[in-house]
Each structure stands twice: as structure tokens, then as C-alpha cells.
């Protein structure tokens, strides 16, 4: 009698080795049978994207207090304001599985980083630990489990402080303006809730697709959470205990071929809509091959598990280490501590939409609007999915230009 195959007995690496070559071959054959034109920005780094559009680009590497080496990018001025001194500093922080490239992957009149630079700002772009630009540590190899033992808790505690302190030191300014998208909002919220002194470094926060509670999240993130809600150990078995969705050459190659074809491009669109929300007619579909070769940019499996835990707990909490004993070791209590966002006193401007599947309307009300006392504006936008806040064709008029006006009025 033939032995029944049990995938639980087959190492994940073996399954990947078997399936991956056939998957890539299928995508290549299917892609080349279609017609596509590759855009020049596909595969460029953030610095190359900035320089491609004739803007000045700088890079800065910094080390966090716990040893991670992060790379930031800078556009010190726009094309016509290089003689202006003491520009206002604005810091743009990407979301989950993303990188600094998010802010520069569209043409200059649509990309927020270029729009802010041309408006007279000194623009800085952050990169959290574990993404394609921040994969070094002073002690741990990127191939070690120790390197990947982090979630957004550590990004909030260590990464934001290291990056913002470096920016203020470099620019000789006391504070800056903060623009965050998605995970880039919960990290600043949690940091400010636990560190009152840090608020002195932030003039205003502009939160795009803001997240705190994620009890009502929809789409693929909710599906993943439901599948592994009671078995985080199974989550690690299937996805590994280290890196989640890395920015590897084979993912980039498959994406650039598959998402560039006239027949296959709509499939890539649908994957984005399954994550971020319904089609809004804001997405420049010809740019999708660029988006998908820059995102996903990598994070840790623990970080994804942290998000899944919060979906199930319906709280804004720290990472759950899986047992009362482990939590007691890390937190001196048997359950993960909750973040108290009512401690925040920095001015916050919200930009959100009922059509966003990640930053849900009910979660924004329950977890942000009804909790944080320092919200100055609550802007509900029509027909924005989660990606439209950074990629959308209407984002300039409805988000970036109003932000510029708010800052200019203050100055």
C-alpha cells in the first residue's frame, strides 16, 4: 500500500525547494506569452528613484540602542528651492512590509516625498528594522533567529527614536513634522503613549490610514489571523520563525514579469484590493509593476504574528510571547500590557476612509478618535483604499496639499 503523504513531516524548506522553481517557471512562461512594457523604475533603489527624477538624494546609516543598523534616505530640497535655509523638516514613515520607496515610486507630481520637497521641506524617509534597507545588526547575522526576534514594539521603542534623533542632530533642529502610513501610525502612537519626552521632538503628526485597534480589519490580514488564531506555533511552522515575505530576487522577477502583462496585470490589482480594500479608480495601473517590485520589502514573522494577536484580542497591546510564564519574564505580568493612547498630547491630523479594509472606520473611532485627546482634524475621505493614501491619484489634492497648508500656516 502506498504511504499517504503528510505535509507536516515534510520540512518547509523542502516544500519551497520543490514548489518554487515550478511557480517561477509558470510565471515566466505565462508572462512572456503576454505583452508587457517594463518601466525604467522597476528594480531601482530608493536613492536611484530619487535621482532618476533629478532630485538630490542622500543616505544615512544609524544604529539603534539595541544594535540594529537602519538606513534612512533624504531629499534635502526640491528642484527650485535649494537656496532656502532652515527648511522645515518632515519625516515620512512607511507601513507594514513596506520601505522608504513607497514615498517616491510615482512621478514627482504624485509622490509625496517629491511634493513635500518642491514645497520647501527637508524630506527624510525612514526604514524600520528588517526591511530591505535595514538588514544589519552589530552582533546578529541576518540569517540568525535572534535577528528576527522583533515586532513593531521594538520599532516604536528603538527605531523611531534613533532615526528622529539622528535627523534632528543632522539638521540642527529641535523638532519635526511626522507623516505616517498604516504601521507608521501605530508606532508613533505607542511611542508617544509611553514616552512623554519624545513628544517634544514632534511638532505635528499626520496619520494616513491610521491604525491602533484592528478588531474589524478585513481582507487577507483577517484571513491569516483567523487561520492561526489559536496556534502561533503553526504560524511559525508554515511561514518560518524569521523573515516574512522578504524582498528576494525571485519574488521581484516574478512580480515584474507577471504584473507587467496586459492579461495578468489585473490579477496583481486584485491582490492589492484583497489587502487594502475595493477598487477606487485612483490606482495608476501602469505603475503596478513598480509597486510590487518594491513591496513587500520584508519584516519579521513575529511582527505579522503581533498583528494577528491584536486582531484576535481587539486591543492595542504589546507582543504576546505565548504563555503566562514567558509574558511574566518579559513584562512582569501574565498577559501583554496594553498601550494607553490617551497619554498622547501631540497634535494629530487624521486622514482615513470608510473604504479602507485595514484601517477600519469602527476601529478608528473606538481606538483613536474616542481615545486620543489631541486630535486636531478628523478627515474622512471618500473612496480611498489603504494603498490610495500613498499611491492614489487624488492623494495630492486631498492629503498632501492640505498638510503643506497646515504647516505653512503655522510657520
The neighbouring-strand residues paired with 37 are none
Give the number of other Cβ atoms within 10 Å of residue 33's Cβ: 10
**How far apart are the two ends of the chain, measured CA to CA in Å?**
80
What is the DSSP secondary-structure string of 138-183?
Answer: SS--TTSTTTT---HHHIIIIIHHHHHHHHHHHHT-S-EEEEEETH
Catalytic residue among 101, 182, 190, 193: 182
Measure the CA–CA gap between 121 and 125, rounded to whole angstroms.
12
Catalytic residue among 356, 360, 363, 388: 356
Cell 484601517 sits on residue: 359
Measure the CA–CA gap between 137 and 149, rounded to whole angstroms.
12
Is the separation of the CB atoms in 362 and 213 below 8 Å? no
- In this structure, what C-alpha cell is assigned to residue 68? 540594529
- Name the nearest CA neighbour of 316 among 299, 337, 332, 292: 337
Cell 518547509 sits on residue: 12
Measure the CA–CA gap between 231 and 228, rounded to whole angstroms.
5
Measure the CA–CA gap between 311 and 57, rounded to whole angstroms.
38
- In this structure, what C-alpha cell is assigned to residue 381? 475621505
Is the separation of the CB atoms in 41 and 52 below 8 Å? yes
- Name the nearest CA neighbour of 338 among 321, 360, 315: 315
Measure the CA–CA gap between 258 and 265, rounded to whole angstroms.
7
Reduced to 3 states (helix: H, G, I; strand: E, B; else coil), residue 201 is helix
**386 part of the active site:** yes
**356 part of the active site:** yes
**353 part of the active site:** no
Active site residues: 182, 356, 386
Amino acid at each position: 500500500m502506498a504511504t499517504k503523504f503528510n505535509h507536516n513531516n515534510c520540512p518547509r524548506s523542502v516544500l519551497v525547494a520543490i514548489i518554487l522553481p515550478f511557480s517561477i517557471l509558470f510565471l515566466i512562461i505565462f508572462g512572456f506569452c503576454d505583452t508587457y512594457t517594463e518601466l525604467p523604475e522597476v528594480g531601482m533603489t530608493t536613492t536611484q528613484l530619487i535621482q532618476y527624477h533629478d532630485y538630490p538624494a542622500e543616505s544615512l546609516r544609524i544604529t539603534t540602542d539595541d544594535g540594529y543598523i537602519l538606513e534612512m534616505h533624504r531629499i534635502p530640497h526640491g528642484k527650485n528651492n535649494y537656496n532656502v535655509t532652515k527648511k522645515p523638516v518632515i519625516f515620512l514613515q512607511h507601513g507594514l512590509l513596506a520601505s522608504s520607496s513607497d514615498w517616491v515610486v510615482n512621478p514627482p507630481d504624485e509622490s509625496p516625498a517629491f511634493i513635500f520637497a518642491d514645497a520647501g521641506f527637508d524630506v527624510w524617509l525612514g526604514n524600520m528594522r528588517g526591511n530591505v534597507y535595514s538588514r544589519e545588526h552589530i552582533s546578529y547575522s541576518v540569517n540568525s533567529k535572534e535577528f528576527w526576534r522583533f515586532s513593531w514594539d521594538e520599532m516604536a521603542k528603538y527605531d523611531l527614536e534613533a532615526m528622529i534623533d539622528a535627523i534632528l542632530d543632522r539638521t540642527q533642529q529641535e523638532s519635526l513634522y511626522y507623516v505616517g502610513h498604516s504601521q507608521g501610525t501605530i508606532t508613533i502612537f505607542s511611542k508617544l503613549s509611553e514616552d512623554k519626552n519624545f513628544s517634544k521632538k514632534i511638532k505635528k503628526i499626520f496619520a494616513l490610514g491610521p491604525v491602533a485597534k484592528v478588531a474589524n480589519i478585513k481582507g487577507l490580514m483577517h484571513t491569516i489571523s483567523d487561520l492561526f488564531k489559536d496556534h502561533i506555533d503553526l504560524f511559525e511552522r508554515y511561514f518560518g520563525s524569521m523573515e516574512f515575505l522578504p524582498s528576494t530576487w525571485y519574488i521581484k522577477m516574478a512580480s515584474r514579469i507577471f504584473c507587467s502583462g496586459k492579461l495578468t496585470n489585473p490579477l496583481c490589482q486584485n491582490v492589492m484590493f484583497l489587502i487594502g480594500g475595493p477598487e477606487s479608480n485612483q490606482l495608476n495601473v501602469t505603475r503596478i509593476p513598480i509597486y510590487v517590485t518594491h513591496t513587500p520589502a520584508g519584516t519579521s514573522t513575529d511582527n505579522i504574528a503581533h498583528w494577528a494577536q491584536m486582531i484576535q484580542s481587539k486591543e492595542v497591546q504589546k507582543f504576546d510571547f505565548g504563555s503566562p510564564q514567558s509574558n511574566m519574564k518579559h513584562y512582569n505580568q501574565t498577559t501583554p500590557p496594553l498601550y494607553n493612547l490617551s497619554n498622547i498630547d501631540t497634535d494629530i491630523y487624521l486622514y482615513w476612509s470608510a473604504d479602507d479594509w485595514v484601517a477600519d472606520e469602527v476601529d478608528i473611532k473606538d481606538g483613536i478618535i474616542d481615545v486620543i485627546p489631541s486630535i486636531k482634524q478628523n478627515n474622512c475621505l471618500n473612496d480611498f483604499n489603504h494603498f490610495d493614501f500613498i499611491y492614489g491619484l487624488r492623494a495630492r489634492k486631498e492629503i498632501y496639499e492640505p498638510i503643506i497648508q497646515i504647516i505653512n500656516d503655522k510657520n
